[in-house]
């Protein structure tokens, strides 16, 4: 039995009021909330271990270094990477994608193709467009259908001997679609192209196994999985990480520096220039422990119940349309009320203490596909309840009455 009431006690913020009403937090796809166990880990670091890492002879620095590297190993185990040096700490998903896109500058040639999907967040579009500008490569797009699924037959047509890289998200942030990444990776590998998977939205719901997926790069952000902001990871296969040049230059990423020539440090340090987010890296491990203690199977099962319940209740509202009805989707519902701007609904919900995101969700091509300015997005986490969904449904009905 999934004890949501017990879990909710771990999250201090869930007992606060917003605009005089109990907070109903349905903006989990933007960022997740933080349990006390993770907050305690942050405090513990600053109370007891704060020091710079990988450089001090003194005890504090060595202890902080050990904690940071232990967290890397924990993350390696969670993602089932072969080596801990295949886990690069980043500031988040966006940083990881930019690091890889920058690295491909010296690999791509004019006329090469790289493939994105129609379902991407801007952070998995823009860095690649910039890469195309630098190299003369072409950006091709896997189209979507009305349900918000990628059209695999069209994907296969895009693949050719010119294809060098494919990058898609594991789960769409705007619609919740779970993409068939196993198939996408297999087909890309058949023609010798590499694959990057943007796991920002998947990691709060699914435990990815990068070796079973045989994926070349996988990126994620801690703040979407109960961890702090400003830290994330890039997983890369060792061979790829050795091949890519460093992204930023600075301290810690070097073996030797002279004014004539600098040699670079081994993995993972080659990609970790400067003082990193040390507390964040350590606490990311604590967040992963927290989620694993609850269990990803239990989380997925419970969130799926929430999704089914909310979908059924919302669809009972006249003139409400859900965007993204893929067979395989996670606990995100994007919707609109006919003739009403999503922002207006979001503002009324906020007055009722209900946090949703409105707008294009940094996925403007999806909104263009549906010819809408944006949607209202309710995204559920394992600490949400059916009673909160009832509050959302009542709030949407109220907004509809006030705005029609």
Contact residues: ligand 7TS, CB under 6 A = 29-30, 92-94, 121, 123-124, 169, 173, 198, 200-201, 221, 357, 361-362
- Closest residue to ligand 7TS, judged by C-beta, is 173
Closest listed residue to residue 370, CA positions, set 150, 169, 148, 177:
148
Neighbouring residues of 295: CB distance < 8 A, sequence distance ≥ 6: none
Which residue, 143 or 359, is less far from ligand 7TS as judged by CB?
Answer: 359
Of the listed 132, 203, 226, 362, which one is catalytic?
362
d(CA 356, CA 346): 6
C-beta of 319: minimal distance to ligand 7TS in Å?
25
* Shortest distance in whole angstroms from residue 180 CB to ligand 7TS: 16
Distance CA 60, CA 56 (A): 8
| 272: nearest Cα among 46, 126, 84 | 84
Coil, strand or helix: which one is 254? Answer: strand
* Residue listed under structure tokens 């703040």: 223
Count the neighbouring beta carbons within 10 Å of the beta carbon of residue 296: 17
Contact criterion met (CB below 8 Å) for 341 and 360 = no
Residue closer to ligand 7TS, measured from CB, 53 or 175: 175
Which residues lie below 8 Å from residue 147, measured CB to CB, with a gap of 6+? 324, 325, 326, 327
Nearer to ligand 7TS, 76 or 173 (CB): 173
CB of 332 to ligand 7TS, least distance (A): 9
CB nearer ligand 7TS, residue 71 or residue 201: 201
- By the 8 A CB rule, do 348 and 403 touch? yes
CB of 230 to ligand 7TS, least distance (A): 9
Q: Using CA of residue 207, residue 210, residue 213, residue 217, what is the dihedral sign?
A: positive
Contacts of residue 218, Cβ cutoff 8 Å, sequence gap at least 6: 79, 196, 197, 199, 208, 210, 234, 235
Rounded to a whole number of angstroms, the minimum distance from the CB of residue 66 to ligand 7TS is 27
Q: Which is nearer to ligand 7TS, 71 or 358 (CB)?
A: 358
Is residue 132 among the annotated active site residues?
Answer: no
Q: Please, what is the minimum distance in Å from the beta carbon of residue 366 to ligand 7TS? A: 11
| CB nearer to ligand 7TS: pick between 34 and 201 | 201
Q: 331: closest CA among 224, 229, 197?
A: 224
Smallest distance from the beta carbon of 31 to ligand 7TS, in angstroms?
7
Nearer Cβ to ligand 7TS (94/277)? 94
Identify the sign of the CA torsion 338, 342, 343, 344. Answer: positive
Region of 359 on the Ramachandran plot (φ > 0 left; ψ -120 to 50 alpha; else beta): left
Decide whether 233 or 389 has the Cβ nearer to ligand 7TS.
233
Supply the minimum distance, in Å, between the C-beta of residue 357 and ligand 7TS: 6
**DSSP-assigned beta bridge partners for residue 232:** 90, 221
Calpha distance 197→100 (Å, rounded): 11
Residue 65 structure tokens = 């270094």
Which residue numbers are catalytic?
A: 362
């Amino acid at each position: 039995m999934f004890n949501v009431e017990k879990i909710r006690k771990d999250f201090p913020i869930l007992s606060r009021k917003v605009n005089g009403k109990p907070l109903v937090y349905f903006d989990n796809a933007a960022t997740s909330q933080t349990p006390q166990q993770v907050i305690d880990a942050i405090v513990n670091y600053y109370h007891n271990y704060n020091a710079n890492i990988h450089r001090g002879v003194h005890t504090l620095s060595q202890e902080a270094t050990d904690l940071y590297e232990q967290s890397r190993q924990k993350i390696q185990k969670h993602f089932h990477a072969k080596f801990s040096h295949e886990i690069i700490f980043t500031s988040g998903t966006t940083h990881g994608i930019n690091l890889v896109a920058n690295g491909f500058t010296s690999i791509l040639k004019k006329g090469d193709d790289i493939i994105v999907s129609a379902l991407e967040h801007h952070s998995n579009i823009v860095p690649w467009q910039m890469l195309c500008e630098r190299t003369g490569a072409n950006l091709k797009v896997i189209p979507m259908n009305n349900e918000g699924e990628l059209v695999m037959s069209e994907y296969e047509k895009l693949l050719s001997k010119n294809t060098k890289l494919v990058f898609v998200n594991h789960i769409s942030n705007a619609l919740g679609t779970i993409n068939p990444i196993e198939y996408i990776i297999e087909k890309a590998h058949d023609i010798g192209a590499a694959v990057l998977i943007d796991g920002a939205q998947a990691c709060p719901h699914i435990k990815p196994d990068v070796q079973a997926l045989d994926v070349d790069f996988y990126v994620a952000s801690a703040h979407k999985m109960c961890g702090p902001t400003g830290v994330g990871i890039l997983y890369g296969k060792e061979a790829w990480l050795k091949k890519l040049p460093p992204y930023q230059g600075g301290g810690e990423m070097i073996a030797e520096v002279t004014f004539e020539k600098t040699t670079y440090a081994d993995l993972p340090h080659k990609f970790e220039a400067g003082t990193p987010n040390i507390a964040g890296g350590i606490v990311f491990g604590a967040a992963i422990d927290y989620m694993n203690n609850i269990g990803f199977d239990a989380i997925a099962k419970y969130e799926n119940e929430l999704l089914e319940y909310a979908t059924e209740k919302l669809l009972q509202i006249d003139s409400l349309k859900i965007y993204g009805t893929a067979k395989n989707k996670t606990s995100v519902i994007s919707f609109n009320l006919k003739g009403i701007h999503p922002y207006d609904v979001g503002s009324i919900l906020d007055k009722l203490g209900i946090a949703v995101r409105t707008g294009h969700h940094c996925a403007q091509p999806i909104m263009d596909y549906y010819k809408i300015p944006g949607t209202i997005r309710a995204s559920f986490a394992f600490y949400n309840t059916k009673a909160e969904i009832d509050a959302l449904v009542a709030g949407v009905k109220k907004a509809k009455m006030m705005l029609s």
